[in-house]
Amino acid sequence: MDIAREAQKLLEENRRTTDGHQYTVPSKEHYPYQWLWDSCFHAIILAQFDPESAHAELRSLLSKQFKNGMVPHIIYWAPGILHLFSWGVEGTSSLTQPPMIAYAAWEVHRRSPDQVFLESIYPALLSYYRFLIEKRDPRDHHLVGIINPDESGEDNSPRFDAPLSAAHDISSHDHLELRKKLIDANTACKFDAELCMRNYFWVKDVPFNTILVENLRALGHIASFLKHGDGEHFANLHAELVANAMHEFLFADGLYWSASGIDYSPLRVATWGHFAPLFAGLYTPEEAERVVHTQLLDPETFYAPFGIRTVSKQERAYRPEGYGNGFSWRGPVWMAPHWFIYRGLLRYGYKKEAAEICAKSVALLERSGFRECFNPETGEGQGAHGFTWGALVLDMLDASGTSQ
Ligand code: GLC
């Protein structure tokens, strides 16, 4: 199979235009709308061969920004069908997702410089990151909170079992019910983040905050390029503050752990969240060496025959087989975590280990196609078909030779 050609073809097939807004759906049948971090992945991939579409994707994503700066995690461009459940507002979801937009915009610009495009989206970008820093960190501790597991992009990850009061063997149906209840509670408190977080679900998630740090840096590059001194100062200052707070509040025993609630109770569930900080260079080289060798490359925890498990094999919640035909973040391999880890490994100079993740990703696609996720032990595909995240291998294949 010519993976590069297939990946490019899939992104073209999944392209849609509604009311003049062009975007890419993650999967034709399962996910027929626009999703936040998915669109950022699409833009990063499209930047290689179709920068105009990459621009269109990000413009559409920002077109439904809320007045308070939030960018919703789903835009229901085509009315009629509802995805899973209603999110308490019309036309979009009421939540956000890992804030990859500035990173994606800077990546697109890095490949095809376009000052006019950057200038056109800059106010929306700045207002989104200001929203996260100001509204999602009401106590000024420099860690941004998520108000629902879906905001992490890892909807049913066991990292969130304790704050949701979910059992380790909860069914996907029951898990969804808990998240629906959370949406109802958030709707009742009008998505006033401070109030909602304090009362229901307030997690300082490691991947989310890591992604924020790296995106604030990207926003800093954009602001500097556009000569917006204030924005550059805001972005760089907060990138540093969040990175430092992560080390102070979320780092223990050589690893980063997410935390919950006002008192930062650590959520001691071993997931790929340990490796996310590599993406933003948050471990020292010595800490990284330990994490890579004692965790990432350990077959008894994360290093599976077919990729990196999203949950350690040692966790009671670990379920490699997923849920029937559905997706699961309770163990299966997903391409986005592979991509973040890949980039993180390159950042620290682990070229051989990164190349292995790229090779495993390509092998999975050749074996099982562009599926949503994969059984780490058998390589079997799970969840949606024709799922776009597999196209991230294009970026891995490209980055191995160039950017880092
Ligand atoms: C699933 C994933 C989420 C993704 C969405 C669309 O819900 O958990 O991360 O954004 O599908 O692909």
**Phi, psi (rounded to 5 degrees) for 16:** -135, 155
| 301, 315 contact by CB (below 8 A) | no
Q: Point out the ligand 1 atom lying closest to the alpha carbon of residue 38.
A: 10
How many CB atoms within 10 Å of residue 82?
10
150 is written with which tokens? 């879906």
Tokens read off for 199: 């009362």
**CA–CA distance, 206 with 352 (Å, rounded to integer):** 25
Q: Which residue owns the Cα nearest ligand 1 atom 12? A: 26
Which amino acid makes up residue 97?
Q
Residue 128, CA distances (Å) to 24, 58, 165, 284, 372 in order? 21, 13, 31, 29, 28
Report CA-CA distances (Å) from 294 to 35, 205, 291: 34, 22, 6
Residue 223's pLDDT is: 98
Residues found in the chain: 404
Q: Say whether pTM exceeds 0.85.
A: yes
Q: Determine the residue of 36, 38, 76, 205 to mutate for testing ligand 1's pocket, defined as the one with the most ligand atoms within 8 A of the Cβ atom.
A: 38
Cα–Cα separations (whole angstroms), residue 85 to 73, 79, 399: 14, 14, 38
Angle between helix 229-250 and helix 115-135 axes, rounded to 10 deg: 40
DSSP state of 382: E
- Cα(first)–Cα(last) distance of the chain, in Å? 27
Ligand 1: residue of 35, 310, 311 to mutate (most ligand atoms within 8 A of CB) is: 35
Neighbours of 40 (CB within 10 A): 28
- Residue 289: both structure tokens together: 């060496």
Q: Tell me, in angstroms, the distance from the centre of ligand 1 to residue 227's CA.
A: 35
**Residues 220, 280 contacting (CB under 8 angstroms):** no
Q: DSSP letter for 27, please.
A: B
| Contact by Cβ (8 Å): 331, 311 | yes
For the stretch 161-207, pLDDT in tens is 999 999 999 998 899 999 999 999 998 988 888 888 888 899 999 99
CA of 329 to the centre of ligand 1 (A): 10
Q: CB within 6 Å of ligand 1 — which residues?
A: 26, 31, 35, 37-38, 153, 155, 327
Say what the pLDDT of residue 404 is.
39
Q: How far is the centre of ligand 1, averaged over its atoms, from the C-alpha of 153 (Å)?
A: 6
Give me the DSSP letters along 4-34: HHHHHHHHHHTEEEETTEEEE-SBTTTB-SE
Which residue's CA is the closest to the ligand 1 atom numbered 3?
Answer: 153
Supply the pLDDT for residue 90: 81
* Contact predicate 355/292, CB 8 Å: no
Ligand 1 pocket: which of 14, 25, 30, 31 to mutate (most atoms within 8 A of CB)? 31
Instruction: Tell me the best of 39, 155, 156, 328 to mutate to test the pocket of ligand 1, counting ligand atoms within 8 Å of each CB and taking the most.
Output: 155
Q: Can you tell me whether residue 142 is helix, strand or coil?
A: coil
**Residue 170, pLDDT score:** 93
In which band, very low, low, confident or very high, does the pLDDT at 328 lie, cut at 50, 70 and 90?
A: very high
Residue range 123-146, pLDDT digits in tens: 999 999 999 999 999 889 999 999
Q: What residue has token string 């597991």?
A: 149
Residue with CA at minimum distance from ligand 1 atom 2: 153
Determine the distance separating the centroid of ligand 1 and the alpha carbon of 397, expressed in angstroms: 23
C-alpha 131/C-alpha 298 separation (Å) is 39
pLDDT above 60 for 30: yes
Angle at 100 between CA 321 and CA 160, to 5 degrees: 45
Rounded distance from Cα 95 to ligand 1 centre (Å)? 13
Ligand 1 atom with minimal separation from the 73 CA = 10
Residue 84 has pLDDT above 90, yes or no: no
Virtual torsion, Cα 394, 397, 401, 404, nearest 10 deg: 70
Instruction: Provide, rounded to the nearest whole percent, the portion of the chain with pLDDT above 70.
Output: 97
Mean pLDDT, residues 43-54: 97
Q: What is the mean pLDDT of residues 348-374?
A: 97
Residue whose structure tokens are 């024709």: 386
Measured in whole angstroms, the distance separating CA 166 from the mean position of its chain's CA atoms is 22
**Are 326 and 172 within 8 A, CB to CB?**
yes
Q: Kindly tell me if the per-residue pLDDT of 308 is higher than 50.
A: yes
For 1-15, 69-83, 199-213, 291-305, which range has the lowest pLDDT when averaged over its residues?
69-83
- Name the DSSP class of 143: -
